[in-house]
Structure formats: structure tokens, C-alpha cells
Amino acid sequence: MSYDDVEIEDMEWNEELKAFTYPCPCGDLFQITKDELKIGEEIARCPSCSLYITVIYNMEDFSDQKSKTNIEPAKQQPVAVA
């Protein structure tokens, strides 16, 4: 069973993982790539455990024909160095 339903705009783009992520209760992150979203995948998995979430998004936002301007997920900000 899906652990939760999460809207794509509530996921964070992780540049290192090249994936949209959302916190997993195990401490790791649920992850889904743009390529997966493009082909209509809606399950984001956690690499550390058996849990997964259902990602709510509009597939057209990720198809090649459309520009990427519609997608505005929460961006990870650079860490300020004190």
C-alpha cells in the first residue's frame, strides 16, 4: 500500500540525486526522476526501505513537447557558509 499521496509541488528537486524527493519515515528520501515522470510513472520509492508514495502530477508537464516552465517544485537552496 502506498504510504502517502504527495503532490509534485511538495517534492524537492535534488540536484545530486537528479530526482524529485520527499522525506521517508525511515530517514531516507522517496525519489522519482524526470524520465520516470515523463513515462507516467507515479510511484516514488525509497532506496532504503520497502515504502513508496504515489506522486500526484500532471504528466503533460513533463512530456517532451511542453516547456519546463510549468514545473516549479520547492527548490533546494544552497547552504550559506558562515
Partner 1 sequence: MEAKERVNDTEEKEEAWSWGAGTEGQLGTGKLQDEHIPQLLPILSSLSLLSCGGAHVIALTPGKMVLTWGRGTSGQLGHGNLVNSLEPKPVDLLNNYNITHVSAGWNHSGFVSESGHLYTCGDGSFGQLGLGDYRSQNCPIKVSCFAFRHVEQIACGMRHSLALLKGEHGDQVYSFGSGKRGQLGTSNEKIKSISLPRSVSGLEEVKVSSIIANGDHSAALSADGHLYTWGRGFGGTPEVCCPNRVISPFSFTQATLGWNHALILTDEGEVLMLGGSHHGVLNNPQKENLAKQDSNEAHLQKIHGLNRIKVVGIASGAEHSVLTTENGVVMTWGWGEHGQLGLGSTSDHTSPQVVRLGENVAHEHMTSKVYCGSGFTFVVRTQRGKRD
Query: Which partner in partner 1, Zn ion, none is near 74 (CB below 5 to 8 A by kind)?
Result: partner 1
Neighbours of 18 (CB within 10 A): 11
Given candidates 17, 25, 34, 59, which one binds partner 1 under the rule CB under 8 A? Answer: 25
Given candidates 2, 14, 48, 63, which one binds Zn ion under the rule CB under 5 A? Answer: 48
Q: How much is the CA Rg of the chain, to the nearest whole Å?
A: 13
Binding site for partner 1 (CB under 8 A): 3, 10, 12, 23, 25-28, 48-51, 74-82
